[in-house]
Structure 1
Amino acid sequence: MSQTVGGTTAASGASASPESPVAVRRRKLVFLVVCAGFVMSSLDMMIVNVAFPALEQDFAGSTPASLAWTLNAYSIVFAALLVPAGRLSDRSSRKQGFLLGLGLFTLASALCAASQGVAMLVAARVLQAAGAAAMVPTSLGLLLAAYPAERRGGAVRAWTAIGGVAAALAPIVGGALVNLDWRWIFLINLPFGIAALLVGSRVLPDTKETERGPLPDLFGSILLIAGVGALSLGLIKAPEWGWASGRVLGCLAVTVLSFAEFFRRSARHPSPVVSLSLLRIRSFSLANLTALVFNTCFGAMLFSFMLWCQNIWGYSALETGLALAPGTFLMPVMAMATGPLAKRFGSATVVVTGCLLLAAGVVWWAVAAQLQPNYVWMLLPGALLTPVGTILGTTALVGLVTKDLPPASFATGSAVNMMVRQVGLVIGISVFIAALGTPGSPAAAKDAFQNAWIITAAIGGAAMLVGLLLHSRRGETGPA
Structure 2
Amino acid sequence: MERRWQVLLVVCVGVFVASLDLFIVNIAFPDIAADFSGSDLADLSWVLNAYTIVFAALLVPAGRLADSIGNKRAFLGGLALFTAASVACAAAGSVETLVGARIVQAVGAAFLLPTSLALLLREFPAEQRPVAIGVWAASGGVAAAAGPPVGGLLVELSWHWVFLVNLPVGVAAITIGSRILREARATGPDAGRIDVPGAVAVTLGTGALIAAIVNGDSWGWTSTRTLALSGAAVVLLGAVVLRTFSHPAPILEREVVGVRSFRLAVSGGLLFFVAFAAMLLGSVLFLTEVWDKSVLTAGLMVAPGPATAAAFSVPGARLGERIGPHRVGALGGLLFAIGAASWAWRLGDDPAWARDFLPGMLIGGAGVGLVNPALTSAAAASLPPARFATGAAVLGMGRQVGTALGVAILVPVLGVPTGAGSFDGVWLVMVLGALAAAASFLAIGPLHAPRPSARPTAPAVTTVEVPA
Instruction: Provide TM-score, normalisation by structure 1.
Output: 0.81
Q: Tell me which amino acid in the other structure corresponds to 1:460.
A: A
Q: What percent of counterpart residues are identical?
A: 42
Equivalent residue letter for 1:309: L
Aligned twin of 1:9 = none
Relative to structure 1, the CA distance from residue 38 to residue 310 in structure 2 (aligned partners, 3 Å threshold; closer, same or farther) is: same
Question: Aligned pair 1:459/2:428, yes or no?
Answer: no
The aligned residue for residue 274 of structure 2 is 296
CA distance in 2, matches of 1:455, 1:248: 23
Are 2:110 and 1:133 aligned?
Answer: yes
Residues 232 and 430 in structure 1, CA contact (< 8 A), matched pair in contact too:
no
Secondary structure (helix, strand or coil) at the match of 1:268 reads coil
- What CA distance in whole angstroms lies between the structure 2 residues aligned with 1:331 and 1:457? 18
**Equivalent residue for 1:264, pick from 236, 242, 248:** 242
The question of 1:183 aligning with 2:160 is answered yes
Q: Deviations over 1:81-103 (max 9, x none)?
A: 23432443444343332222111
In the other structure, the counterpart of 1:388 is 366
| In structure 1, distance between residues paired with 2:328 and 2:336 | 12
Report the equivalent of 1:330: 308
- Give 1:79's aligned amino acid: A
Q: How many Å separate the matches in 2 of 1:312 and 1:478?
A: 50
Residue aligning to 2:329: 351
Q: Which residue of 2 aligns with 1:98?
A: 75
Deviation of 1:273 (Å): 3.3
Pair 1:32-2:9 in alignment: yes
Return the letter of the residue paired with 1:380. L
**Cα RMSD for the two superposed structures:** 3.3
Which position in structure 2 is the counterpart of 1:109? Answer: 86
- Does the Cα contact within 8 Å between 2:61 and 2:203 map onto a contact in 1? no
Pairing 1:468–2:442 present = yes
Q: Is the 8 A contact 1:362 1:457 kept in 2?
A: yes
**Residues 391-422 of structure 1: CA deviation (Å, up to 9, x unaligned):** 11111112211333334434432332222222
Contact 2:86 2:105 (C-alpha < 8 Å) held by counterparts: yes
Contact kept, 8 Å, 2:210 with 2:401, in 1: the verdict is: no
Indicate yes or no: 2:21 matched with 1:44.
Answer: yes
Letter in 2 for 1:200: G
Alpha-carbon shift at residue 68 of structure 1 (Å)? 5.8
The equivalent position to 1:194 in structure 2, one of 165, 171, 174, is 171
Gaps of 5+ in 2: 451-468
TM alignment of 1:346-425, pairs within 5 A: 346-425=324-403
CA apart distance, 1:104: 0.6
Shift of the alpha carbon at 1:107? Answer: 0.9
2-structure distance, mates of 1:295, 1:419: 11
Q: Does 1:171 align with 2:144?
A: no
Q: Distance in 2 between matches of 1:452 and 1:109?
A: 33
Residues of 1 paired with 2:290 and 2:95: CA distance?
A: 23
Partner of 1:17: none
Counterparts of 1:446 and 1:94 in 2: how far apart (Å)? 48
Partners of 2:340 and 2:53 lie apart in 1 by 25
Q: Aligned pair in 2 of structure 1 residues 122, 378: CA closer, same or farther (>3 Å)?
A: farther
**Do the aligned residues in 1 keep the contact of 2:137 with 2:373 (CA within 8 Å)?**
yes
Which of 329-338 and 288-297 deviates more?
329-338
Instruction: Tell me the alpha carbon deviations over residues 293-344 of structure 1, each in whole angstroms, 9 at most, x when there is no partner.
Output: 1112112221222333334444333312210232333233311221343245
User: Which residue does 2:253 correspond to in 1?
Assistant: 275
Higher RCO structure (Cα 8 Å, ≥6 apart)? 2
Any residues of structure 2 matched to 1:422-433 within 5 Å, and which? 422-433=400-411
Picking from 58, 63, 84, the partner of 2:35 is 58
Alpha-carbon spacing, 1:57–1:385, altered in 2? closer, same or farther (3 Å) = farther
317-326 vs 338-347, greater mean Cα deviation: 338-347
Moved more, 307-316 or 333-342: 307-316
For residue 15 of structure 1, what is the aligned residue in structure 2?
A: none
